[in-house]
Amino acid sequence: MTPYHIDFQPVGRRGECKDNDSLLDCARQLGAGISNVCGGKGKCQSCRVKVVKGATTDATQSEEKLFSRDELGQGWRLACQAYPKDDCRIEIPPESMTSPQRTQVEGLEIAVAPDPPVRTFRLKLSTPTLSDARADADRLLASLKEQQGVECSKIDGEVLTSLSPSLRSWNWECRVALRSNEVISISPLRSLSLGLAIDLGSTKIAAYLVSLEDGKTLASKGVMNPQISYGEDIISRMDAAMKSPLEGKKLQKLVVDAINELAHDLCKEIGRVGEEILETVLVGNTAMHHLFLGLPVVQLALSPYVPAASMALDYKARDLGLRFASGTYVHLLPNIAGYVGGDHVAVLLALKAAEIQGLTLALDIGTNTEVSLIDSNRISSVSCASGPAFEGYQIKHGMRAGRGAIEKVRISDGEIQYQTIDAAPPVGICGSGVLDILAEMYSSGIIDKGGRILEGHPRVRDQNGYREFVLIDENEIGGRPAIILTQEDIRHLQLAKAAIRAGIQILLDVNDKSEKEIDNVIIAGAFGSYIDLSSAITIGMLPDLPLNRYRQVGNAAGTGARLALISSAMRAESRNLASQVHYVELGTAPQFNDTFIRACYLGDLNRIDGLRKDASTHV
Amino acid sequence: MTPYHIDFQPVGRRGECKDNDSLLDCARQLGAGISNVCGGKGKCQSCRVKVVKGATTDATQSEEKLFSRDELGQGWRLACQAYPKDDCRIEIPPESMTSPQRTQVEGLEIAVAPDPPVRTFRLKLSTPTLSDARADADRLLASLKEQQGVECSKIDGEVLTSLSPSLRSWNWECRVALRSNEVISISPLRSLSLGLAIDLGSTKIAAYLVSLEDGKTLASKGVMNPQISYGEDIISRMDAAMKSPLEGKKLQKLVVDAINELAHDLCKEIGRVGEEILETVLVGNTAMHHLFLGLPVVQLALSPYVPAASMALDYKARDLGLRFASGTYVHLLPNIAGYVGGDHVAVLLALKAAEIQGLTLALDIGTNTEVSLIDSNRISSVSCASGPAFEGYQIKHGMRAGRGAIEKVRISDGEIQYQTIDAAPPVGICGSGVLDILAEMYSSGIIDKGGRILEGHPRVRDQNGYREFVLIDENEIGGRPAIILTQEDIRHLQLAKAAIRAGIQILLDVNDKSEKEIDNVIIAGAFGSYIDLSSAITIGMLPDLPLNRYRQVGNAAGTGARLALISSAMRAESRNLASQVHYVELGTAPQFNDTFIRACYLGDLNRIDGLRKDASTHV
**CB within 8 A of A465, min separation 6: which ones?**
none
- Burial of residue B131 (number of CB atoms within 10 Å: 0-12, 13-18, 19+): exposed
User: Between B130, B137, B335, which is nearest A135 by CB?
Assistant: B335
Residue type, B426: P
Size of interface A-B (CB pairs under 8 A): 140
Partner B contacted by A296 (CB < 8 A): yes
Residues of B with CB below 8 A from A315's CB?
157
Rg (CA), chain B: 27
Band of residue B488 on the pLDDT scale cut at 50, 70, 90 = very high
Residues of A with CB below 8 A from B313's CB?
157, 160
Q: Is B546 strand, coil or helix?
A: coil
* pLDDT at site B285: 96
Q: Is the pLDDT reported for residue B164 higher than 90?
A: yes
HEC secondary structure over B197-251: EEEECCCEEEEEEEECCCCCEEEEEEEECHHHHHCCCHHHHHHHHHHCHHHHHHH
- Cβ contact, residue pair B311, A135, below 8 Å: yes
Residues of A with CB below 8 A from B298's CB?
164-165
- Cβ contact, residue pair A160, B308, below 8 Å: yes
pLDDT digits (tens, 9 = 90+) for A199-208: 999 888 999 9
Band of residue A453 on the pLDDT scale cut at 50, 70, 90 = very high
Count of beta carbons in the 10 Å neighbourhood of residue B132? 12
When pLDDT is averaged across residues A189-196 and rounded to a whole number, the result is 93
Partner B contacted by A301 (CB < 8 A): no
* pLDDT at site A359: 97
Residues of A with CB below 8 A from B134's CB?
306, 310
Residues 485-544 of B with CB under 8 A from A: none
| Contact predicate A404/A426, CB 8 Å | yes
pLDDT digits (tens, 9 = 90+) for A526-556: 888 889 999 999 999 999 999 999 998 888 9
Q: Is the pLDDT reported for residue B2 higher than 70?
A: no
Partner A contacted by B134 (CB < 8 A): yes
How far off is chain A from B584, nearest CA to CA, in Å?
9
Q: How far apart are CA B518 and CA B521, in angstroms?
A: 7
Q: How far apart are CA B66 and CA B47, in angstroms?
A: 12
Lowest model confidence (mean pLDDT) among A20-34, A108-122, A456-470, A509-523: A20-34
How far off is chain B from A128, nearest CA to CA, in Å?
7
Do B4-98 and B194-342 share a fold? no
In chain A, where the domains are located: 4-98, 118-187, 194-339, 343-388+494-618
pTM, two decimals, is 0.82
- Cβ contact, residue pair B135, A306, below 8 Å: yes
* pLDDT at site B616: 34
Q: Is B312 strand, coil or helix?
A: coil
pLDDT digits (tens, 9 = 90+) for A366-424: 888 999 999 988 999 999 988 888 877 788 898 877 788 899 999 988 889 999 988 88
pLDDT digits (tens, 9 = 90+) for B295-335: 999 999 999 999 999 999 999 999 999 999 999 999 999 99
Bridge pairing between strands A460-463 and A466-472: antiparallel
* pLDDT at site B288: 97
**Which runs of consecutive H residues, i.e. helices, occur in B133-198?**
136-148, 157-169
Q: Is B369 strand, coil or helix?
A: strand
Q: How far apart are CA A181 and CA A195, in angstroms?
A: 19
Residues of B with CB below 8 A from A165's CB?
296, 298-299
CA B310 to chain CA centroid, Å, is: 21
User: Between B131, B135, B296, which is nearest A164 by CB?
Assistant: B296
Instruction: Locate the chain A residue with the closest alpha carbon to B140.
Output: A309
Lowest model confidence (mean pLDDT) among A417-426, B272-281, B584-593, B602-611: B602-611
Indicate the helix (H) or strand (E) that contains A148. Answer: helix A136-148
Indicate the helix (H) or strand (E) that contains B362. Answer: strand B360-364
* pLDDT at site B10: 73
**Range among A33-37, A78-82, A287-291 with highest mean pLDDT value:** A287-291
Q: Is the pLDDT reported for residue A35 higher than 80?
A: no
Q: How far apart are CA A564 and CA A208, in angstroms?
A: 12
How far off is chain A from B484, nearest CA to CA, in Å?
40
User: A115: which DSSP letter?
Assistant: B
The CATH classification of domain B194-342, taken from the options 3.30.70.1140, 3.90.1150.10, 3.40.50.12780, 3.30.420.480: 3.30.420.480
Q: Which residue has the higher pLDDT, A98 or B587?
A: B587
- Burial of residue A424 (number of CB atoms within 10 Å: 0-12, 13-18, 19+): exposed
User: Between A129, A153, A338, which is nearest B133 by CB?
Assistant: A338
The CATH classification of domain B118-187, taken from the options 2.60.120.10, 3.40.50.620, 3.10.20.880, 3.40.30.10: 3.10.20.880
Residues 164-183 of A with CB under 8 A from B: 164-165, 168
* pLDDT at site A379: 97
User: Between B141, B154, B305, which is nearest A133 by CB?
Assistant: B305
How far off is chain A from B165, nearest CA to CA, in Å?
8
Distances (CA, A) of B369 to A249, A256, B349, B525: 50, 50, 17, 10
* pLDDT at site A229: 82
Query: Which CATH code is given to the segment(s) B4-98?
Result: 3.10.20.30
Q: Is the pLDDT reported for residue B39 higher than 70?
A: no
Integer distance in angstroms from the first to the last C-alpha of chain B? Answer: 36
Strand order through the sheet with A217-224 = A217-224, A204-211, A194-200, A277-284, A329-332, A313-316
pLDDT digits (tens, 9 = 90+) for B387-405: 888 877 788 898 877 788 8
**Residue % of chain B over a pLDDT of 70:** 94
Main-chain dihedrals φ then ψ at residue B95, nearest 5 degrees: -70, -15
Strand partners, A198: A207, A282
* pLDDT at site A37: 66
pLDDT digits (tens, 9 = 90+) for A157-179: 999 999 999 999 999 999 999 99
Residues 581-610 of A with CB under 8 A from B: 585, 587-588
Residues of A with CB below 8 A from B153's CB?
311
Band of residue A98 on the pLDDT scale cut at 50, 70, 90 = low
* pLDDT at site A94: 67
pLDDT digits (tens, 9 = 90+) for B42-98: 776 778 899 999 999 999 988 988 888 998 999 999 998 999 988 999 988 766 765
Band of residue A598 on the pLDDT scale cut at 50, 70, 90 = very high
**Which runs of consecutive H residues, i.e. helices, occur in B230-320?**
234-243, 245-269, 286-293, 298-301
- Sign, CA dihedral A342-A347-A348-A349, equals positive
pLDDT digits (tens, 9 = 90+) for A225-282: 889 888 777 888 999 999 999 999 999 999 999 999 999 999 999 999 999 999 999 9
Range A391-420 burial, b when 16+ CB lie within 10 A, else e = bbbbbebbbbbeebbbbbbbbbeeebbbbb
Got the DSSP string for A520-550? EEEEESHHHHHS-HHHHHHTTSS----GGGE
* pLDDT at site A374: 97
> What CATH architecture applies to the domain A343-388+494-618?
2-Layer Sandwich (3.30)
* pLDDT at site B250: 94
* pLDDT at site A510: 96
- Cβ contact, residue pair B585, A130, below 8 Å: yes
Band of residue B34 on the pLDDT scale cut at 50, 70, 90 = confident
When pLDDT is averaged across residues A585-599 and rounded to a whole number, the result is 93
Query: Which CATH code is given to the segment(s) A194-339?
Result: 3.30.420.480
Q: Is B585 strand, coil or helix?
A: coil
User: Between A128, A293, A306, which is nearest B136 by CB?
Assistant: A306
HEC secondary structure over A151-210: CCCEECHHHHHHHHHHHHHCCCEEEEEEECCEEEEEECCCCCCEEEEEEECCCEEEEEEE
Strand order through the sheet with B405-412 = B415-420, B405-412, B428-429
Instruction: Locate the chain A residue with the closest alpha carbon to B302.
Output: A130
Distances (CA, A) of B380 to A346, A428, B22, B354, B376: 56, 83, 46, 19, 11
Got the DSSP string for B330-358? EEEPPP-BTTB-HHHHHHHHHHHHTT--S
Residues 328-347 of B with CB under 8 A from A: 335, 337-338
Partner B contacted by A161 (CB < 8 A): yes
When pLDDT is averaged across residues B450-464 and rounded to a whole number, the result is 93
Q: How far apart are CA A565 and CA A558, in angstroms?
A: 10
Band of residue B423 on the pLDDT scale cut at 50, 70, 90 = confident
- Cβ contact, residue pair A304, B157, below 8 Å: no
Main-chain dihedrals φ then ψ at residue A85, nearest 5 degrees: -125, 10
- Burial of residue B611 (number of CB atoms within 10 Å: 0-12, 13-18, 19+): exposed
- Cβ contact, residue pair A295, B164, below 8 Å: yes
- Cβ contact, residue pair B164, A304, below 8 Å: no
Mean model confidence pLDDT for chain B: 89
User: A56: which DSSP letter?
Assistant: B
- Cβ contact, residue pair B295, A164, below 8 Å: yes
Q: Is the pLDDT reported for residue A337 higher than 60?
A: yes
Partner A contacted by B315 (CB < 8 A): yes
Residues of B with CB below 8 A from A307's CB?
135-137
- Cβ contact, residue pair A136, B587, below 8 Å: no
Residues of A with CB below 8 A from B585's CB?
130-131, 133
Q: Is the pLDDT reported for residue A107 higher than 70?
A: no
Band of residue B361 on the pLDDT scale cut at 50, 70, 90 = very high
Assess: ipTM above 0.95: no
Residues of A with CB below 8 A from B345's CB?
none
* pLDDT at site A422: 82
Residue type, B412: S
Q: Is the pLDDT reported for residue B248 higher than 90?
A: yes
**Residue % of chain B over a pLDDT of 90:** 67
Q: How far apart are CA B414 and CA B459, in angstroms?
A: 9
Partner B contacted by A475 (CB < 8 A): no
Partner B contacted by A322 (CB < 8 A): no
| Contact predicate A422/A403, CB 8 Å | yes
Q: How far apart are CA A518 and CA B307, in angstroms?
A: 65
Q: How many residues are given for chain A?
A: 619
* pLDDT at site A523: 93
Partner B contacted by A327 (CB < 8 A): no
Strand partners, B418: B409
How far off is chain B from A110, nearest CA to CA, in Å?
30
Q: How far apart are CA A261 and CA A278, in angstroms?
A: 16
- Cβ contact, residue pair A138, B294, below 8 Å: no
- Cβ contact, residue pair A299, B138, below 8 Å: no
* pLDDT at site B180: 93
Q: How far apart are CA B557 and CA B205, in angstroms?
A: 11
Indicate the helix (H) or strand (E) that contains B384. Answer: strand B378-384
Distances (CA, A) of A502 to A109, A526, A591: 34, 22, 10
Residues of B with CB below 8 A from A308's CB?
135-137, 160-161, 163-164
* pLDDT at site A489: 95
- Cβ contact, residue pair A307, B136, below 8 Å: yes
Q: Is the pLDDT reported for residue B619 higher than 50?
A: no
* pLDDT at site B529: 83
Q: How far apart are CA B238 and CA B240, in angstroms?
A: 5
Indicate the helix (H) or strand (E) that contains A218. Answer: strand A217-224
User: Between A129, A309, A337, which is nearest B133 by CB?
Assistant: A337
Partner A contacted by B135 (CB < 8 A): yes
Count of beta carbons in the 10 Å neighbourhood of residue A180? 13
Instruction: Using alpha carbons only, give the angle A349, A350, A355 rounded to the nearest 5 degrees.
Output: 95
Residues of A with CB below 8 A from B172's CB?
none
Q: Is B397 strand, coil or helix?
A: coil
* pLDDT at site A338: 95
Indicate the helix (H) or strand (E) that contains A15. Answer: strand A13-17
| Contact predicate A380/A373, CB 8 Å | yes
